[in-house]
Amino acid sequence: MIKKIAVLTTGGDAPGMNPAIRSVVRYGISQKLEVMGVFRGWWGLINEELKPLSHRSVSGIIGQGGTILKTGRCAEFKTEEGQKRAYETIKKNNIDGLVVIGGNGSFAAAHEFYKKFNVPCVGVAASIDNDVNGIDYTIGTDTAVNTALDAIDKIRDTATSMERIFVVEVMGRDSGFIALTVALAGGCEDVIIPERDLDLNAVCHDIVHGNLVGKMSWIIVVAEGAGKAEDIARQITDMTSLETRTVVLGHVQRGGRPTAVSRDIALNVGKAAVDCLIAGKTDIALGLAAGKIVEVDFETAIKKKELKIDNFYKLIKTLT
Amino acid sequence: MIKKIAVLTTGGDAPGMNPAIRSVVRYGISQKLEVMGVFRGWWGLINEELKPLSHRSVSGIIGQGGTILKTGRCAEFKTEEGQKRAYETIKKNNIDGLVVIGGNGSFAAAHEFYKKFNVPCVGVAASIDNDVNGIDYTIGTDTAVNTALDAIDKIRDTATSMERIFVVEVMGRDSGFIALTVALAGGCEDVIIPERDLDLNAVCHDIVHGNLVGKMSWIIVVAEGAGKAEDIARQITDMTSLETRTVVLGHVQRGGRPTAVSRDIALNVGKAAVDCLIAGKTDIALGLAAGKIVEVDFETAIKKKELKIDNFYKLIKTLT
Amino acid sequence: MIKKIAVLTTGGDAPGMNPAIRSVVRYGISQKLEVMGVFRGWWGLINEELKPLSHRSVSGIIGQGGTILKTGRCAEFKTEEGQKRAYETIKKNNIDGLVVIGGNGSFAAAHEFYKKFNVPCVGVAASIDNDVNGIDYTIGTDTAVNTALDAIDKIRDTATSMERIFVVEVMGRDSGFIALTVALAGGCEDVIIPERDLDLNAVCHDIVHGNLVGKMSWIIVVAEGAGKAEDIARQITDMTSLETRTVVLGHVQRGGRPTAVSRDIALNVGKAAVDCLIAGKTDIALGLAAGKIVEVDFETAIKKKELKIDNFYKLIKTLT
Amino acid sequence: MIKKIAVLTTGGDAPGMNPAIRSVVRYGISQKLEVMGVFRGWWGLINEELKPLSHRSVSGIIGQGGTILKTGRCAEFKTEEGQKRAYETIKKNNIDGLVVIGGNGSFAAAHEFYKKFNVPCVGVAASIDNDVNGIDYTIGTDTAVNTALDAIDKIRDTATSMERIFVVEVMGRDSGFIALTVALAGGCEDVIIPERDLDLNAVCHDIVHGNLVGKMSWIIVVAEGAGKAEDIARQITDMTSLETRTVVLGHVQRGGRPTAVSRDIALNVGKAAVDCLIAGKTDIALGLAAGKIVEVDFETAIKKKELKIDNFYKLIKTLT
């Protein structure tokens, strides 16, 4: 029987990490476990920055963005030395298992750590990019999408009033998920994503053609992994002689009160992660797929996630 | 081959009806169909209040709450005479099929109408109550849940600052879905729903016990179908001698800009409904289940939807 | 020279109390003062519930609704005995002056306390009702108005889609300020406030007349001090035979992230209150009037505030 | 007696232009005036793109960002020829006066036009930059400030969770108003504005000093007129060896539902502009100063507005 677990958040922060922490802590305590909070991700394990969390220590965080445990990327954990020191912290503190709240990078690190030191690790898929393979919806994605959509709706006011072409860059290094979702939901005229070859001729053709029939305002969404808004805007101007404007939404998409969906997933998956550790499971990430919580091997989870983009893209183009 | 379809919204309005209309109209036109918009639900069919909708007529509505076609409940459509007049409008205008955007009541009416007059009818599940059987998430639910959650977060500020017990009534005549979801996501202390017998003794026991250990603020969510906030608050005061406050969120939950999820479902299901009519399907409602669009017989759709409440409820109580 | 001050929040909570506390604490410390935080308003003085606040103790609260010091109404402080005990706490803790963040009731109490015990008291006008005489805009009003306006905008979606008459009750026990402001900004058709005799015949006349020319949806705003939404709605139904719906916005208006205006006033007035105590001023409330911070005698501040309602009301009626 | 007026929006769009249009149209009609709407600013006068606006034509726009009349900058109106053609449109359509909704550039153009052709022009101060001299608060500023503040609050989540330095660029070409206001209200650590010499050494000194005592996250707000976020961030990194991140809020600040303050000013000033034209006034801009509507000569309005920045800046630094 396990007696003590630790929870940490690693990688980029995502809205919903806090309710996930709350769920791990309170559900863990309800199952008679001691729960330690590790600060600043792997760094905290290496440097023994951790402390016991009580029921009350996670009061009032359910609606807050970010993570009270803080997070970060940690180069030292990629070294033998770093991993060893992290393991020593775990031994010294009698920790029987880890709940790792994060994305692909976090799961790759947890997988390696588990294989080397045999410490039970269960992942909670949290990432605004929604790029964990085998999982439909990660914690934070819905919030980020709604934040981006809110921005797109605002930009639409100016695009329409001033009859302008906007190129709006949203997050998504390897994934066009946010871009596709907000382009569809925002009624945007085009979308450029890493999963699809960019045909700027076609984009410009549509713009020029639209202009001839009186369509004067455009919003083109670009995933950051597919190019810089500024470059694309300049090329469009070069090819069409029309003025363009750019907006890079940036880190605003990471923050804010988590939406109901982000909290709901966080609370349910957080609990499930504790159940998995109790049941002796390890080396898996948990998340939502087809409306249910699923367990995905870390090895599978960190593979490139395929996005079914063709119907998505066609619908965007049909509806504008 | 069908040539002309009509779209109408009936029953209570839900945020996302407008993007659904947009999708039916624009996708329909892209498939070489004529699309008529019927005003005020069934009433518009009875009174021949309808007009052709163009691509441009649905511009700028993707982010708007309510429905540009207006909606309402129509007693006359429950009469033989009313249905006959509706059918005459359909014949006279050469309408080959109907897209009915609404909830259970709308589908029951559409089912009866189809059986009597053999007019192809496809339903698009839109209802904030999320009470369509066989469908996980109806258009509008996610928006209503987030609106209610936003209100709960605000009430929490006062509950904590003034150390008070709040009873907050949310929508849901026959369904505790909104209540359970916001109670969990809002970190509420208790929830009262129609699907579960109310044990006010247990509620009051928890409050009194909490008070003894220093927990001074409470938010108890009530689905409207499970009782009036005012009555429940008064009983709590009677049993505990503690002051209570009530908030009835009411119609605010019906309105507002649809969230990304509500728009996404609306746009995809709207398109799918047109595809169904083209494919000769009828007497079915469309919606999202297990992450996919599903077709559900009207007869099944209007049956009482079972909500798996036990785990839900247990999690709420464990995490507070 | 004063060395130590205390800050408390009393009466109903208002969004912006937290940034006001932050300003008093950090500015006070920058002026070499010790700042004590008193918990639960006057109750905390009576029961010696207070503690020193550091620069860090007010971190991260600038954007939070409610008050970290908690607040409440305190019957005991109206008694000789209660006041005496509060005074003893002040003596015992060597407190040289009080910053009282609250509304009219708080200032009346502070005024009496100052007169009896000669403890320097400076008020910071915070109240969503905007009913402090001599001050144009109290902390919290702008947030409450925007929350109510947001709700009105949402209700408008349903009112328009379902062609209904809504009676919406907003806060304002003695003051029609919130009601007038949101009625104007929300494009509402009528407004009922305590400062103006209610002529329900005129309201109904407008509705019936509007109906004849095709105006089918109405939003009528009622300040809570002018009547209950339910009563007014029923009377309108009785007089016009038209269906009505009601919404009571309630405590939702008290909470939420303070707006820029509410924070701006809070931060500036909080600082000014400390400056006043340092300068030896007392028995005054501070707030914003004509774009400047003004000092108003408590005696003046607690008098009935006159609202110039005629032009306001006329504009509302002209623009709908 | 004047009989017909025209209204136009020019320059950059600002949230609140729509309620201003609504007020001009509906109040104008209530005063027995005909009101023409001119499209795309001065361009519409030059090209005779205008049409009569009815009471109903401005329905439902009170809560919408942007401007239904569209807007833009018009080089042709700076030419003799362009102005003459605009004047001809005015004569031909028997327009007795213009309401010009816009900022400094718009007022400069209107002033010149009035002097040359003697067409009565009254300005309605609308600009998110709040840079109209003699006026405290222009239409749109409060909305833009709240949008920027909302973004800052979100960025704070990541800044705190990841312990990072953020440089956030907000709008304000010649004015630090937005930057100062959100820096104060957002609890930001520093602010860089065009009205104040940039001392990057001091900024970096504070950061390094803060770091030593454990302060790890920073948000530094930059007005666009004072430098590019990217340049400043790079310089900070060069001088401190600390990682930095940038966000450029951009056009998002122009859009969105106008806040209560923006609508309130718009509705009152719109009405006042019509009253001025009726009273035979011209060559003035209207706006809010010290809580009242004031008339400012165009010549004064377009002068450089002085911002009292010293106390502002000192308060920001004291409170962080």
Check CB contact of B94 with chain A, cutoff 8 Å. Answer: no
Q: What percent of chain C has pLDDT over 90?
A: 94
Residue C90 within any structural domain of the chain: yes
Of B17, B40, B158, the CB nearest to C255: B158
pLDDT number for residue C310 = 87
Separation in Å, CA of B290 to nearest CA in chain A: 4
Are B94 and B151 in the same domain? no
Domain match, A33 and A126 both: yes
- Considering B236, B254, B272, which residue would you say is the last residue of a domain? B254
Position A32 confidence tier, pLDDT thresholds 50, 70, 90 = very high
Q: Which residues of D participate in catalysis according to the annotation?
A: 129
**Identity at B90, one-letter amino acid code:** I
Each residue's pLDDT tens digit, C235-288: 999 999 999 999 999 999 999 999 999 999 999 999 999 999 999 999 999 999
A318 within a domain of the structure (yes/no): no
Which of B225, B254, B283 corresponds to the end of one domain? B254
Least confident of A114-118, B306-310, B315-319: B306-310
Which chain B residues contact residue C17 at CB under 8 A? 161
Longest dimension (CA), chain B: 72
Across the interface, do C255 and B166 touch by the CB < 8 Å criterion? no
**Amino acid B1: pLDDT:** 87
Q: Which of B27, B63, B156 sits opposite A319 (nearest CB)?
A: B27
CB–CB contact C158 B70 (8 Å) = no
- Cβ atoms < 10 Å from Cβ of B76: 14
Taking the Cβ of residue A94 and every Cβ of chain B, the question of whether any pair is shorter than 8 Å is answered with no
SS (H, E, C) chain A: CCCEEEEEECCCCCCCHHHHHHHHHHHHHHCCCEEEEECCCHHHHHCCCEEECCCHHHCCCCCCCCCCCCCCCCHHHHCHHHHHHHHHHHHHCCCCEEEEEECHHHHHHHHHHHHHHCCCEEEEEECCCCCCCCCCECECHHHHHHHHHHHHHHHHHHHHHHCCEEEEEECCCCCCHHHHHHHHHCCCCEEECCCCCCCHHHHHHHHHHHHHCCCCCEEEEEEHHHCCHHHHHHHHHHHHCCCEEEEECHHHHHCCCCCHHHHHHHHHHHHHHHHHHHCCCCCEEEEEECCEEEEEEHHHHCCCCCCCCHHHHHHHHHHC
Chain C CB within 8 Å of residue B47 CB:
no
**Among A216, A233, A254, where does a domain finish?**
A254
Contact across the interface for C156 and B255, Cβ inside 8 Å: yes
Q: Return the partners of chain D (3 or more C-beta pairs < 8 Å).
A: A, C
CA–CA min distance D252, chain A (Å) = 5
Asked if this assembly's ipTM is beyond 0.90, the reply is: yes
> What does the pLDDT average to over C203-226?
94
A9 within a domain of the structure (yes/no): yes
pLDDT in tens, C28-60: 999 999 999 999 999 999 999 999 999 999 999
C318/D264 Cβ within 8 A: no
Are residues A85 and A196 both part of a single domain?
A: no
Are D24 and D117 found together in one domain?
A: yes
Please, which residues 284-303 of chain A have a Cβ atom closer than 8 Å to chain B? 289-292
- Looking at the structure, tell me whether residues C26 and C132 fall in a common domain: yes
pLDDT recorded at residue B310? 87
> What's residue B301's pLDDT?
97
A215 in contact with D, Cβ within 8 Å: no
* 3-class state of residue C125 by DSSP: strand
Q: Which residues contact B127 (CB under 8 A, 6 or more apart)?
A: B11, B12, B14, B102, B103, B104, B138, B139, B140, B141
Q: How confident is the model at residue D1 (pLDDT cuts 50, 70, 90)?
A: confident
Task: Say which of D60, D156, D291 has its CB closest to residue C136.
Answer: D291
Q: Is the pLDDT of residue D127 over 90?
A: yes
Q: Which residues contact residue C140 at a Cβ distance below 8 angstroms, ignoring those fewer than 6 apart?
A: C14, C15, C16, C17, C126, C127, C128, C254, C258, C262
Chain B residues inside the 8 Å CB shell of C12: 162
Lowest average pLDDT, out of A246-250, A306-310, D107-111, goes to A306-310
pLDDT score of B74 more than 90: yes
Tell me: do D176 and D99 sit in the same domain. Answer: no
* Structural contact between residues A192 and A227, judged by C-beta atoms closer than 8 angstroms: yes
For B293, which residue in chain A has the nearest alpha carbon? A290
pLDDT at residue B308 in the model: 83
Closest-CA residue of chain A to B157? A60
Q: Residues of D numbered 148-177 whose beta carbons fall under 8 angstroms of chain C's beta carbons: which are they?
A: 149, 153, 156, 160
Name the band, by pLDDT with cuts 50, 70 and 90, for residue D305.
very high
Residues of B with Cβ-Cβ distance to A156 under 8 angstroms: 63
When CB atoms are compared, the residue of B27, B260, B315 closest to A146 is: B260
* Catalytic, out of B13, B129, B131, B142: B129
Q: Does C241 touch chain D (CB under 8 A)?
A: no
Same domain, C30 and C133: yes
Q: Report yes or no on B307 lying in a domain.
A: no
Q: Is the pLDDT score of A213 beyond 90?
A: no
pLDDT of res. B214: 87
Q: What pLDDT is attached to residue A307?
A: 85
* Residue A310 pLDDT exceeds 90: no
Compute CA C283 distance to the chain's CA centroid, rounded to the nearest angstrom: 20
B160 and B238 fall within a common domain: yes
Q: Which amino acid is at D227?
A: G
B247 within a domain of the structure (yes/no): yes
Q: Any residues with CB less than 8 A from the CB of A93 and at least 6 apart, and which?
A: A4, A6, A36, A48, A50
Strand pairing report for A121-125 and A97-102: parallel
Q: Cβ–Cβ of A70/D153 closer than 8 Å?
A: no
Closest CB to C181: pick one of D30, D136, D264.
D264
pLDDT at C36: 98
Same structural domain for residues A25 and A92?
Answer: yes
Q: Does the pLDDT at position C307 exceed 90?
A: no
Q: Which residue of C has its CA nearest to D263?
A: C185
Indicate whether D227 and D279 sit together in one domain: no
* Partner-chain residue, chosen from A9, A158, A250, that has the shortest CB–CB distance to D247: A250
Helices (H), chain B: 17-30, 42-46, 80-92, 104-117, 141-162, 177-185, 200-212, 229-240, 260-278, 298-301, 310-319
Q: Are A145 and B260 in contact (CB under 8 A)?
A: yes
Q: How many beta-carbon contacts under 8 Å exist across A and B? A: 98
The active-site residue, picked from C129, C131, C142, C283, is: C129
Res B78: pLDDT:
94
Q: Looking at the complex, report in whole angstroms how far the Cα of residue D277 sits from the nearest Cα belonging to chain C.
A: 18
- Alpha-carbon distance D26 to nearest alpha carbon in chain C (angstroms): 6
In chain C, the number of structural domains is 2
Whether D98 and D110 have beta carbons less than 8 Å apart is answered as yes
In a domain, D10, yes or no: yes
Is A105 near chain D, with CB under 8 Å? no
- CB A6, CB A93: distance < 8 Å: yes
Contact assignment for B155 to C64 by CB distance below 8 Å: no
Domain that holds residue D119: 4-140+258-301
CATH of the domain at B62: 3.40.50.450
| CATH number assigned to the domain comprising residue B232 | 3.40.50.460
Residue of D nearest to C314 (CA): D27
Span B166-195, average pLDDT? 96
- D203-246 residue pLDDT tens: 999 999 999 988 889 999 999 999 999 999 999 999 999 999 99
Residue B152: phi and psi, rounded to 5, are: -60, -45
Contact A70 D162 (CB under 8 A): yes
Strand order in the sheet with B244-248: B190-192, B218-223, B165-170, B244-248
**For residue C1, pLDDT beyond 90:** no
- Split at pLDDT 50, 70, 90, the class of C7 is very high
CB contact under 8 A, A162 and D72: yes
Nearest residue to D244 (alpha-carbon basis) of D157, D179, D159, D150: D159
* One domain for residues A227 and A275: no
D26 shares a domain with D95: yes
Pairs across A and D, CB distance < 8 A? 111
Q: A314: how many CB neighbours lie within 10 A of its CB?
A: 12
User: Would B306 be classed as within a structural domain?
Assistant: no
Determine contact, residues B215/B208, Cβ cutoff 8 Å: no
**Residue A248 in this model has a pLDDT that exceeds 90:** yes
As a whole number of angstroms, the distance between CA A248 and CA B23 comes to 28
CB contact under 8 A, D157 and A15: yes
* Chain C residue nearest residue B217, CA to CA: C70
Contact (CB<8Å) C72/B256: no
Chain A partners within 8 Å of B259 (Cβ): 146, 149, 259
Inter-chain CB proximity A187 and B62 less than 8 Å = yes
3-state SS assignment for residue B252? helix
CB contact under 8 A, D247 and A245: no
Question: What pLDDT is recorded for position C214?
Answer: 87
D71 touching A (Cβ < 8 Å): yes
Give a yes or no: residue B316 inside a domain: no
